[in-house]
């Protein structure tokens, strides 16, 4: 297929000679970046001209909102300016949050490099399950907003931080929104705490409205510093790194994976060297693109020089890190990614950017309690962030796989905040653990629907982590809140302690935390089904996972073994990683690490103790495998990927639902109905079961 590219109307902003001319590289390899000293590179970033203004505003205002183009230097420079100005003196720490783990690590290592210090000492980072900081020496700390939220459980006023910078605030992840609401609350108690809210595409006005002091807030303030302004300041950083030329399609395409592959080959044929970053939506279409690209290269007998690298959250760390390795001369790297690379990342060699215009997004319906991950159009703000991954160390080109008219007329300016389209169970338990009892009255930057909140409270109540007054029950509620997984999985882990099967349940929890351990896209369906049958357990998917995990360990964690058995090697390595981390947390919570030695009833009961609310019964006389949920009498079916597909036991539990033509249950296990009343008598009444 061919594409018809036309340059977009976004005016190319030419690089000011003085600002960026010297940085222009003729060398295609990333190693060329070393020509200018790091100090010079820092001074050439647009944000440098605003250094004094930023420091003045932070000094004089409780909250400063910084809006600046992608690549202008907000993330890497502002924390350093603050440190240079003394905000890290006296044992205080400067925090900078990011919505994504990958960005946290990448920016922390860049800042450590710029400061000439070892990562993990003066500059450190913390992400879920990984802490690379030194409490004695770290003064600039990058962390996900989810981790900052967890830190608040131990230190509600965040006393060790002098400044918290919430970066990429436009993303409006659930954690970002909760963090913003809580920081506003903390400010009322700590006027010495400074906030910086930054992004390239944030709606500064609405953010500023959110942080306006209310009279109520003033009354509650304790000893406001003299001269400190509580009204937020807004600073707009003008200028960008390098020009990124935007190209749109003349006609829409229906198959964006195919279009992305063709565009990669087109660039490789026609354009000078420079790496390519492609944004697709998820593991399946990324792996499909990797395969198509590899096949096309072979068919066309191109002496390729192309190094194709997938990037998604399900990949183990070592594989993800390959995207940062420098490209050797004569080679071209193609990174095919989900939106985990959308914000804050600088991949030095990237010159060309291909944007499919889609991402996978969560949509939750509180009435049916069904959460769907669907492929949906991105917003203009996301498209700008994606384009901003090029043009960071040299000029770039961005190919949008949609028309300009579509960008201007169909794409929304900003996405819907995650809090308004997600299940709130995890979010509410965290707020409760922080002592926020009046959830409905919480000051949200964007309010979630009352239905979602009520549904989440109901689920937490049924899990027996909240009492009749909707307060966390000690200690179980606090333990569930402490395990960084969805509360139903956490509850299952805690229950495994009494049932003597924590070893097995930790494995199951780790598998439930990755997307899928099966490789479905390869070869013939029949072969895949046969491979799966080698591990299949009559009890269902959870027990099957135990068999796969055992086989993987016995094979010496062999990739070959995975390949032969249609098992996703990357996912299995991730399972091993997550399991190790969960084991440490379980020990900290006093859970005995014990195996039930094949007593599968204990394992199934522990799963029931977490997921009892997702119980379903096969409809009597059903010929097509129709189940009804016990809770809402919803019609559901076992997903074809489950080992219980067509087996249809009478009583089952599921982990999640995916809706396509029907509502399908994923990760299904058979149970005895009597266990429901045994583990959750408060939830199920004996009658009728």
Residues 332-361 interacting with ligand ATP (rule: CB under 6 A):
343-344, 346, 348
The nearest distance, CB 53 to ligand ATP, in angstroms, is 15
* 423 contributes a contact to ligand ATP by CB under 6 A: no
The correct pick among 68, 239, 366, 395 for binding ligand ATP (CB under 6 A) is 68
- Of 82, 186, 393, 571, the one binding ligand ATP (CB under 6 A) is 393
CA distance 388 to 69: 8
In what order do the strands lie in the sheet containing 332-337?
Answer: 5-7, 244-249, 396-403, 350-355, 275-279, 332-337, 306-311
Give 201 or 565: the residue with its C-beta nearer to ligand ATP: 201
CB of 68 to ligand ATP, least distance (A): 6
Q: Among residues 607, 618, 623, 409, which one has the least CA distance to residue 494?
A: 607
Question: What is the per-residue DSSP string for 40-85?
Answer: HHHHHSGGGGGHHHHHHHHHHBSEEEEEE-TTSSHHHHHHHHHHHT
Half-sphere exposure of 418 (CA within 13 A, CB side): 19
Q: And the tokens for 617?
A: 């019964």
Nearest by Cα to 339 from 287, 385, 372: 385
Residue of the chain from 61, 188, 360, 392 that contacts ligand ATP (CB under 6 A): 392
Return the number of the residue (99 or 610) whose C-beta is nearest ligand ATP. 99
Nearer to ligand ATP, 246 or 616 (CB): 246
Closest contact distance (angstroms) between CB of 353 and ligand ATP is: 12
Q: Find the shortest distance in angstroms from Cβ 669 to ligand ATP.
A: 43
DSSP 285-346: HHHHHHHHHHHHHHHTT----EEEEEE-TTS-HHHHHGGGSPPPTT-EEEEEE-GGGSSS--
Selected range binding ligand ATP among 72-80, 140-148, 158-166, 652-660, rule: CB under 6 A: 72-80
Q: Which CB, 73 or 310, lies closer to ligand ATP?
A: 73
Both tokens of residue 593? 């690490």
Of 71-79, 375-383, 599-607, 637-645, the window that binds ligand ATP (rule: CB under 6 A) is 71-79
Q: Which residues pair with 657 in a beta bridge?
A: 665
Would you count residue 122 as binding ligand ATP (CB under 6 A)? no
Beta carbons of 586 and 506 less than 8 angstroms apart: yes
Q: Is the peptide bond before 92 cis (omega within 30 degrees of 0)?
A: no
Stretch in the footprint of ligand ATP (CB under 6 A) among 67-75, 349-357, 457-465, 546-554: 67-75
Backbone angles phi, psi at 441, to 5 degrees: -90, 5
Using N-to-C axis directions, what is the helix angle for 600-611 and 487-499, rounded to 10°? Answer: 140
Q: How far apart are CA 513 and CA 532, in angstroms?
A: 20
Nearest-approach distance from CB 113 to ligand ATP, in angstroms: 7
75 forms part of the interface with ligand ATP (CB under 6 A): yes
Residue 117's SS3 state is: coil
CB of 16 to ligand ATP, least distance (A): 14
CA 70 to chain centre: 20
Nearer to ligand ATP, 238 or 635 (CB): 238
CB of 393 to ligand ATP, least distance (A): 5
DSSP string, 202-268: --HHHHHHHHSPPHHHHHH--SPPTT-B-SPEEEEE---SS-EEEEEESS--S-HHHHHHHHHHHHH
Q: Is residue 33 within the footprint of ligand ATP (CB under 6 A)?
A: yes
CB of 515 to ligand ATP, least distance (A): 26
Residue with tokens 């603050």: 82
Contact between 432 and ligand ATP per CB under 6 A = no
C-beta of 78 vs 485, nearer to ligand ATP: 78
242 or 651: whose CB is closer to ligand ATP? Answer: 242
Q: Which is nearer to ligand ATP, 75 or 655 (CB)?
A: 75
Least distance (Å) from ligand ATP to the CB of residue 343?
6
Quote the least distance from Cβ 191 to ligand ATP, whole Å: 27
Structure tokens at 545: 């996972």
Is 172 a residue that touches ligand ATP (CB under 6 A)? no
Q: 484-505 burial string, b = 16+ CB within 10 Å, else e?
A: bbbbbbbbbbbbbbebbbbbbb
Minimum gap (Å) between residue 406 Cβ and ligand ATP: 23
Q: Which of residues 235-274 bind ligand ATP (CB under 6 A)?
A: 241
Alpha carbon distance 266, 262 (integer Å): 6
In the complex, minimum distance from the CB of residue 408 to ligand ATP, in angstroms, rounded to a whole number: 22
76 binds ligand ATP (CB under 6 A): yes
Give the range of 74-82, 211-219, 441-449, 634-642 binding ligand ATP by CB under 6 A.
Answer: 74-82
Using the rule CB under 6 A, give the single segment among 387-395, 423-431, 608-616, 644-652 that binds ligand ATP.
387-395
User: Which residues from 294-313 bind ligand ATP, rule CB under 6 A?
Assistant: none
Show the CA angle centred on residue 492, arms to residues 637 and 314, nearest 5°: 70
Taking the least distance from each CB to ligand ATP, the nearer of 68 and 232 is 68
Contact in structure between 354 and 248 (CB atoms under 8 Å): no
Closest approach of ligand ATP to the CB of residue 322, in Å: 15
Q: Which is nearer to ligand ATP, 198 or 648 (CB)?
A: 198
Mapping DSSP to helix (H, G, I), strand (E, B) and coil, where does residue 153 land? helix
Tell me the site size for ligand ATP, rule CB under 6 A: 22
Asked whether position 388 contacts ligand ATP by CB under 6 A, the answer is: yes
Token pair, residue 385, equals 């962030």
Query: Of residues 199-238, which lie at the interface with ligand ATP (CB under 6 A)?
Result: 200
* Structural tokens at position 95: 């925090």
**Which residue has tokens 């044992």?**
91
Binder of ligand ATP out of 61, 110, 188, 194 (CB under 6 A): 110
**629, β-bridge pairs:** 616
Min dist. Cβ of residue 391 to ligand ATP (A)? 8
When the beta carbons of 75 and 263 are compared against ligand ATP, the nearer one is 75
Q: Phi first, then psi: what are they for 631, rounded to 5°?
A: -70, -45
- Cβ-based nearer residue to ligand ATP, 200 or 485: 200
Options 8, 71, 124, 395; binder of ligand ATP; rule CB under 6 A: 71
Q: What is the 3-state secondary structure (H, E, C) of 446-488?
A: CCCCHHHHHHHHHHHHHCCCECCCCCECCCHHHHHHHCCCCHH
Nearer to ligand ATP, 170 or 247 (CB): 170
| Shorter beta-carbon distance to ligand ATP: residue 70 or 403 | 70
- The residues binding ligand ATP (CB under 6 A) are 33, 45, 68, 70-77, 107, 110, 200, 241, 343-344, 346, 348, 388, 392-393
């Amino acid at each position: 297929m061919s594409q018809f590219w036309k340059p977009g109307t976004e005016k190319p902003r030419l690089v000011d000679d003085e600002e960026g001319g010297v940085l222009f590289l003729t060398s295609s390899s990333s190693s060329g970046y070393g020509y200018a000293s790091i100090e010079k590179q820092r001074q050439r970033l647009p944000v440098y001209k605003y250094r004094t203004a930023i420091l003045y505003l932070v000094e004089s205002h409780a909250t400063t909102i910084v809006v600046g183009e992608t690549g202008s230097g907000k993330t890497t420079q502002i924390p350093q300016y603050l440190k240079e100005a003394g905000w890290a003196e006296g044992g205080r720490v400067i925090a900078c949050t990011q919505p994504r783990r990958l960005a946290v690590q990448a920016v922390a290592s860049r800042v450590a490099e710029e400061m000439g210090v070892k990562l993990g000492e003066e500059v450190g980072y913390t992400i879920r399950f990984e802490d690379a900081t030194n409490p004695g020496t770290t003064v600039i700390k990058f962390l996900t907003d989810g981790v900052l939220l967890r830190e608040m459980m131990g230190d509600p006023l965040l006393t060790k931080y002098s400044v918290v910078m919430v970066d990429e605030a436009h993303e409006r992840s659930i954690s970002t929104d909760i963090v913003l609401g809580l920081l506003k609350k903390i400010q009322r108690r700590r006027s010495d705490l400074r906030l910086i809210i930054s992004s390239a595409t944030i709606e500064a006005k609405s953010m500023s409205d959110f942080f306006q002091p209310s009279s109520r807030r003033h009354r509650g303030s304790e000893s406001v510093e003299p001269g400190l302004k509580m009204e937020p300041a807004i600073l707009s950083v003008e200028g960008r790194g390098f020009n990124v030329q935007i190209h749109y399609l003349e006609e829409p395409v229906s198959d964006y994976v195919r279009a992305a592959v063709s565009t990669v080959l087109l660039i490789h044929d026609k354009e000078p060297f420079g790496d390519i970053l492609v944004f697709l939506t998820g593991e399946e279409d990324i792996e499909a693109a990797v395969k198509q690209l590899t096949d096309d290269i072979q068919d066309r007998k191109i002496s390729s020089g192309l190094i194709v690298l997938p990037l998604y959250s399900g990949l183990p760390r070592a594989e993800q890190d390959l995207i940062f390795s420098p490209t050797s001369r004569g080679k071209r790297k193609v990174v095919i990614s989900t939106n985990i690379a959308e914000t804050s990342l600088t991949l030095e060699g990237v010159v060309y950017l291909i944007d499919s215009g889609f991402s996978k997004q969560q949509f939750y319906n509180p009435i049916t309690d069904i959460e769907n991950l669907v492929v949906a159009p991105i917003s203009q703000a996301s498209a700008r962030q994606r384009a901003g991954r090029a043009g960071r160390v040299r000029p770039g080109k961005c190919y949008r796989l949609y028309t300009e008219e579509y960008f201007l007329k169909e794409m929304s300016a900003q996405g819907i905040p995650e809090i308004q389209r997600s299940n709130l169970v995890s979010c509410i338990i965290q707020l409760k653990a922080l002592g926020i009892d009046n959830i409905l009255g919480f000051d949200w930057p964007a309010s979630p629907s009352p239905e979602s909140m009520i549904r989440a409270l109901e689920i937490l109540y049924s899990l027996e982590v909240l009492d009749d007054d909707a307060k966390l029950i000690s200690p179980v509620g606090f333990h569930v809140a402490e395990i960084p997984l969805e509360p139903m999985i956490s509850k299952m882990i805690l229950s495994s302690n009494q049932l003597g099967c924590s070893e097995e349940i930790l494995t199951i929890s780790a598998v439930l935390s990755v997307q899928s351990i099966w490789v479905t896209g390869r070869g013939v369906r029949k072969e895949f089904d046969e491979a799966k049958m080698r591990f299949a357990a009559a009890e269902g998917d959870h027990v099957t996972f135990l068999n796969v995990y055992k086989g993987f360990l016995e094979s010496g964690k062999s990739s070959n073994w995975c390949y032969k058995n249609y098992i996703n090697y990357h996912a299995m390595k991730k399972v091993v990683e997550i399991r190790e981390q969960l084991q440490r947390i379980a020990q900290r919570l006093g859970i005995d690490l014990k195996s039930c030695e094949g007593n599968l009833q204990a394992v199934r009961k522990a799963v029931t103790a977490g997921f009892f609310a997702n119980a379903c019964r096969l409809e009597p006389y059903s010929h097509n495998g129709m189940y009804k949920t016990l809770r809402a009498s919803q019609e559901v079916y076992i997903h074809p990927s489950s080992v219980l597909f067509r087996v249809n036991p009478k009583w089952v539990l599921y982990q999640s639902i995916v809706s396509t033509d029907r509502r399908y249950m994923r990760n299904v296990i058979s149970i005895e109905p009597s266990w429901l009343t045994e583990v959750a008598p408060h939830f199920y009444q004996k009658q009728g079961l």
